[in-house]
Amino acid sequence: NAGVTQTPKFQVLKTGQSMTLQCAQDMNHEYMSWYRQDPGMGLRLIHYSVGAGITDQGEVPNGYNVSRSTTEDFPLRLLSAAPSQTSVYFCASSYRKSGRMNEQFFGPGTRLTVL
Amino acid sequence: SQQGEEDPQALSIQEGENATMNCSYKTSINNLQWYRQNSGRGLVHLILIRSNEREKHSGRLRVTLDTSKKSSSLLITASRAADTASYFCATGLSNDYKLSFGAGTTVTVRA
């Protein structure tokens, strides 16, 4: 299994540009999420999904959109990039077993710089 | 807002020594998880401890949970250079998937 994959690894955008960060998992996990990590801070949840067709907002959703058309893919769209969105973005997936949630599996991250 | 706070923020130890870091949180939790992040990499899950558990072990790792004090500790025994990383605690408030991460403890193991 490849686990959780993210593309691209690095991206530089100009203010106002839009782009999509890709995330895919091959573990058939129902739960997927996007976090951002800024220096000196922990991960903050942007959006999450508990299954295909179901998404919800996390702690810091403004400026980002998501959709979940398949179990495997969970892309994150930046609508109009701003310098405040300069960050490292992580995608994660997880599953439920015997009615209880379990650990999250993280992708390698996308380092985004907005000029 | 971050639910968990790790202490200390940074820790430097000699190879072979033990490293202990703590996590405090504010509200009742369903579970607490510890993750490791090597520089420039994604997070790797270490241990998940549920609210009805008090201690868990995994290799050289020992995690305790005290729900009355709303705190957890991670002990790494006989540290190695490869243990140099940032360690994060994450709390799950209910039996769903959402986690709230602390800012992490940066551990440096000196050879």
Beta bridge partners of A5: A24
Q: What is the pLDDT of residue A41?
A: 80
Strands A64-66, A76-78: pairing is: antiparallel
Q: Which residue has the higher pLDDT, B97 or A84?
A: A84
**Nearest-neighbour CA in chain B from A33: distance (Å):** 9
pLDDT at A2 over 90: no
The model's pLDDT over B27-36, given as tens digits with 9 standing for 90+, comes to 889 999 999 9
The model's pLDDT over B74-90, given as tens digits with 9 standing for 90+, comes to 999 999 999 999 999 99
Beta bridge partners of B38: none
Q: What is the pLDDT of residue B107?
A: 97
Whether residue B103 contacts residue A40, with contact meaning beta carbons closer than 8 Å, is answered with yes
As a whole number, mean pLDDT of residues B35-62 equals: 95
pLDDT at B95 over 70: no
The residues near A3 (Cβ < 8 Å, ≥ 6 apart) are: A25, A26, A27, A105, A107
Q: What is the pLDDT of residue B34?
A: 97
Whether residue B37 contacts residue B43, with contact meaning beta carbons closer than 8 Å, is answered with yes
Q: What is the pLDDT of residue B1?
A: 52
Average pLDDT, chain A: 95
B10 in contact with A at a CB cutoff of 8 Å?
no
Q: Which residue in chain A has the smallest CA separation from B103? A: A42
